[in-house]
Amino acid sequence: MRILNRILNEKKGLTFFIVIAILAILLIAITSYNSMLRSERYTMYRIIYGDDALIIAEAGMDLLQRIVENEFALTGYERKNTYFKYEDLIKPKGEFKTVNFDSAKLTDIIANSEPIKALVEIFGGPSIARIKKVEVVIDEKTVKYFADVCGNTSNIAPNYHEKFGIINYSIQVEFYGVTKLLNIAKQIKIVHTLPKVFRFFTLFIKNIPKDTDLNKILVDDSGNPVTGKPLVLNNGDYNSGTSLSPLDVGMVFLGNTPASEPLILKLSHGTKGVGELFQMIESFYKNPDYEKDYKDSKGFQVVNLQYGVSSGMMAKARAYGIQSQQELMSSMLKLYGTPDNPTPTRVLGNVNRSYLRLAAYQNTPNGSTDVGEMPSIPQANFKTSGVRPIMEKGVRNPPEVRPGEWIARLIFPEAMWDLEDQLYKNYALYMNQFISYEYYNFGFRSPIKDKNGFECNPNSIPDYDLKLKPSGTNSYGGSPAKPADEEYRGSDMRTLTLDDKYAVPYASYKFAGDAEFADFKKLFMNGTQPDSLRLGMMVKFASDVKLPKMTIDKGGIIVCEKGNITVSGDIEANPMQNQVLTLIAMDGDIIVDAAKVDAILITMKEGQKFTPRKKLELSGGLATHSMDFDKLLAAGGTINFRPPQTNSSNTPYFYYASIQPDVRNWKVILTNEQK
Amino acid sequence: MNRNKAFGFTLIEILATIAILGIIAINLLYSLSEQNRGTIDIVNKVIASNYAKDAIDYLKAIEYSNVDSSFNCVEIGGKTSNPKFKDLPPLVDPFERSVEIIEFKDKPLGAGSTQKINYKIIKVGVKFDKRFNSRVTLIGTLMVEKFTQ
């Protein structure tokens, strides 16, 4: 008590300070409490601001994806890229690198777009919210190649341009100092819209109906019927003086059913009524009784197997320098005519199930005098036009079997003829290279280049003898091309089809059907010329569509998903533009009710049968699962191959990048960072 | 006297203490009141925000062509509701939600752009404080249809 009194006595007046101290503690506690509440409020506001930023980011993301997809769609054909280089997407394995889209341009277009500006105004204006940064990237680490993942089609050169990976979109939005980053990853596929092989064919019929007599359908190219009305195939001008490019030649495939049964085919060529009947039967191939059989006739035996081989022909094929002992399932036969009558017809066929004859027939209009059955036809009935196909000028009659050198002379420039002994060998090697160079499968045609970047052009290969070595030291920058007989052994072109999983989703615009054709016109036929089609992309009609008269100023692809495409007016390619239009009926017919159509027509689904309604006048190509030959014989027609459709500069146009719509593949990553 | 003087409080001390306590109490009460109101406000904002997002998410899930002005409405919590939003959580008092669809057709994507775009802005406002009539959460988003050149 005394001590306390002492303290109190000594600290007299301290009470005030004690009270103040207690109050100060209270003040601190209250301030802390306030601060805590404020902090909590701040945090909650940040959450709200973050959510608001996210809403803007989502809207921006929506717009961004539309812009990028629009860029893919609109530039797929034109390649007028704004935000990336389309060619970068198409680069093959080994060359493909991470594709960074132009972030500055994308940020600018998104941030300053009218919709986003309007949206930002709702949130209080640009002083409160803004798009900070937009990025789109396809990381090469995420990219895989279909050829690696799905496996290669047997004997079809894999296409290492087709790939899939992840396209990553990201948008940063700042809202009241809170920055939100929204990432969306989606799968992207970069694939060929349709097997480009179709573009190399004048006529591709997957399945010739049983008992169809093809000898009735092809006679002369002047349209004179021999039996029924002919379908004349004009496959191009190679070796004619107007074209030196073998790529300017269409091919024909006629798939036989069953494969084991022979298929006999006549084709016409040239302008002088020369017909050809292709045969690859051993007995006729080297008919020892030829002179007896055809004594006094003006006919001739033509054996010109440039590149056609079959299992039954291997002995002879080996004589021509083809060394493979393996049974061939298919081959490519390239035929070249006389200098006066170039025969650019190329027939790609599976010679195990078909054979081809080569002969001439009389250029008369009344049908009974053609020599379609030359090996067995009575001598009296064998008449020819006197024009000899596949012969040199001044050649003896009957013609002799042509060696490979002779063929090589037709192909190689004269300056290269000095290597007499090696000519055919080199030719054969060249053909192997050539097939790689020009392969007519699913592959992307990219020129073979040497290590110096020199393009392997058939007509301009310096030191080609040195370069075309069959060893592993091929100077073209990689392992040598496979020999043709290995390359195509076992490949069955009848397996070729149009996968609707590929063909349909890539349509840039979708229309319900003919009822929306006005919308189509508004978008693609809106020029000063009402008939002018400026498509430049792939569009889809869900049901029947009727195409009016058109002039193709910009080509593209029109797909009808379910229903018929009726061509009711002439479709003509503008000769100044050389554009190619492709019409695809996925599950219906293409009804040609026009006098002239410049387009590639494709009806490849199982069961589809192309039915000519009237005389077919087609410039482009026709690929169909089957053909109504009775209707064809009644109608006849001409199919002219159009070289622009194989033009390598057109090739990238047919590649499309498809962003997969499946939202289940989305991966959303949110990060929240404070400024 | 000395003892009392030594242990007592002066009037001034007491008055000063009362004054300080008063000031602190006023601040405290004011602060608590403000914080309380702020907390209520922020909670209401969150709720309002959720009400707005409900409508936006709902509308964004609908096909573009079907989102039109028929969705425009004002719903008052506990009183009126738009049957088109019947699948959404019902509004409670005092929240009030207004929805407005603003459609733009063939508008340039941006200044000087040749690309045209169809889009719709969904504007949703939610009021939650009738007394002040200013506690409004306003949210908008975008639906983009297609581009034309």
Give the model confidence (pLDDT) of B13-28 as tens digits: 778 878 877 887 787 7
Closest CA to A251 of A233, A275, A269: A233
Where would I find the beta strands (DSSP E) of A466-555?
509-511, 532-534, 538-541, 545-547, 550-554
d(CA A68, CA A71): 5
Inter-chain residue contact A38 with B143, CB threshold 8 Å: no
Give the model confidence (pLDDT) of A342-373 as tens digits: 344 555 554 333 333 333 333 333 333 332 22
* Chain A residues in contact with B110 (beta carbon < 8 A): 109, 112-114
**Cβ contacts from A onto B, under 8 A:** 113
**Minimal-distance CA residue of chain A relative to B110:** A113
Phi and psi at A653, nearest 5°, equal -60, -25
* Chain A residues in contact with B109 (beta carbon < 8 A): 67, 109, 113-115
Q: Give pLDDT, residue A376.
A: 27
Give the model confidence (pLDDT) of A363-399 as tens digits: 333 333 332 222 222 333 333 333 233 223 333 333 3
d(CA A597, CA A107): 45
Lowest mean pLDDT among A410-414, A521-525, B108-112: A410-414
Q: Indicate the pLDDT class of residue B113, thresholds 50, 70 and 90.
A: confident
Of B7, B13, B49, the CB nearest to A51: B49
> Are A602 and A618 in contact, with CB atoms under 8 Å apart?
no
Where would I find the beta strands (DSSP E) of A9-142?
99-100, 129-138
Question: In this complex, is the C-beta atom of A535 within 8 Å of any C-beta atom belonging to chain B?
Answer: no
| Numbers of helices and strands, H then E, in chain B | 2, 4
| Residues A476-492, mean pLDDT to the nearest whole number | 30
Closest CA to A436 of A489, A475, A490, A484: A484
Q: Give pLDDT, residue A228.
A: 59
Phi and psi at A369, nearest 5°, equal -110, 5
Inter-chain residue contact B35 with A118, CB threshold 8 Å: no
Q: Give pLDDT, residue A320.
A: 37
Lowest mean pLDDT among A385-399, A506-520, A660-674: A385-399
Q: Could you tell me the residue ranges of all domains in chain A? A: 39-192+662-674, 197-495, 500-641
- DSSP symbol at A580: -
Enumerate long-range contacts of A287-290, CB under 8 Å, 24 or more apart: A287/A375, A290/A398
Distances from the Cα of A254 to the Cα of A202, A304, A346, A457, B57, angstroms:
11, 20, 12, 29, 55
Question: In this complex, is the C-beta atom of A74 within 8 Å of any C-beta atom belonging to chain B?
Answer: yes
Helix (H, G, I), strand (E, B) or coil at A329: coil
The two tokens of residue A620 are 């482009």
Beta bridge partners of A169: A136, A184
Inter-chain residue contact A34 with B35, CB threshold 8 Å: yes
Q: Indicate the pLDDT class of residue A139, thresholds 50, 70 and 90.
A: very high
The answer for residues whose C-beta is within 8 angstroms of residue A326's C-beta and 6 or more apart is: A485, A486, A489
Q: Give pLDDT, residue B32.
A: 75
Q: Give pLDDT, residue A319.
A: 33
Q: Which helix (H) or strand (E) holds A246?
A: none
Closest CA to A365 of A213, A218, A220: A220
Where would I find the beta strands (DSSP E) of A463-570?
509-511, 532-534, 538-541, 545-547, 550-554, 556-560, 565-567
The two tokens of residue A186 are 């989606």
Give the model confidence (pLDDT) of A100-116 as tens digits: 999 999 999 899 988 89
Share of chain A above pLDDT 70, in %: 45
* Chain B residues in contact with A67 (beta carbon < 8 A): 109, 147
Residue owning tokens 């479709």: A571
Q: Give pLDDT, residue A549.
A: 95
Average pLDDT, chain A: 62
Q: Is the pLDDT of residue A481 over 60?
A: no
Question: In this complex, is the C-beta atom of A16 within 8 Å of any C-beta atom belonging to chain B?
Answer: yes
* Chain A residues in contact with B35 (beta carbon < 8 A): 33-34, 37-38, 41
Inter-chain residue contact A113 with B109, CB threshold 8 Å: yes
Question: In this complex, is the C-beta atom of A264 within 8 Å of any C-beta atom belonging to chain B?
Answer: no
Q: Give pLDDT, residue A108.
A: 92
Q: Give pLDDT, residue A214.
A: 61
Residue owning tokens 């009218």: A114
Q: Indicate the pLDDT class of residue A321, thresholds 50, 70 and 90.
A: very low
Name the more confident of A37 and A498: A37
Q: Give pLDDT, residue A502.
A: 52
Q: Give pLDDT, residue A471.
A: 34
Q: Is the pLDDT of residue B148 over 60?
A: no
Beta bridge partners of A567: A547, A592
Give the model confidence (pLDDT) of A576-629 as tens digits: 877 888 899 999 999 999 989 999 999 988 888 898 888 888 998 998 999 888
Inter-chain residue contact B141 with A55, CB threshold 8 Å: yes
* Chain B residues in contact with A508 (beta carbon < 8 A): none
Name the more confident of A167 and B38: A167
d(CA A145, CA A579): 30
The two tokens of residue A504 are 């349909």
Interface test with B, best of A113, A173, A519, A526 (most B CBs within 10 A): A113
Give the Cβ contact number of residue A494 at 10 Å.
Answer: 17
Lowest mean pLDDT among A428-432, A441-445, A620-624: A441-445
Residue A585 burial by Cβ neighbours in a 10 Å radius (0-12, 13-18, 19+): buried
With the CA atoms of A593, A594, A599 and A600 taken in that order, what torsion angle do they form, in degrees rounded to the nearest 10? 30
Q: Give pLDDT, residue A323.
A: 33
Helix (H, G, I), strand (E, B) or coil at A472: coil
> Are A438 and A487 in contact, with CB atoms under 8 Å apart?
no
Where would I find the beta strands (DSSP E) of A10-100?
99-100
User: Strands A331-334 and A609-610, how do they pair?
Assistant: unpaired
| Residues A51-59, mean pLDDT to the nearest whole number | 86
Inter-chain residue contact A123 with B146, CB threshold 8 Å: no
Question: In this complex, is the C-beta atom of B14 within 8 Å of any C-beta atom belonging to chain A?
Answer: no
From the CA of A514, how many Å to the nearest CA of chain B? 19
Q: Give pLDDT, residue A664.
A: 30
Q: Indicate the pLDDT class of residue A538, thresholds 50, 70 and 90.
A: confident
Q: Give pLDDT, residue A540.
A: 84
Give the model confidence (pLDDT) of A227-286 as tens digits: 556 666 666 654 444 544 445 566 777 776 665 455 555 444 433 333 343 333 332 333
From the CA of B70, how many Å to the nearest CA of chain A? 21
Inter-chain residue contact A509 with B146, CB threshold 8 Å: yes
End-to-end CA distance of chain B: 102
Q: Give pLDDT, residue A281.
A: 30
CA Rg, chain A, in Å? 35
Q: Give pLDDT, residue A147.
A: 65
Share of chain A above pLDDT 90, in %: 12
Helix (H, G, I), strand (E, B) or coil at A38: helix
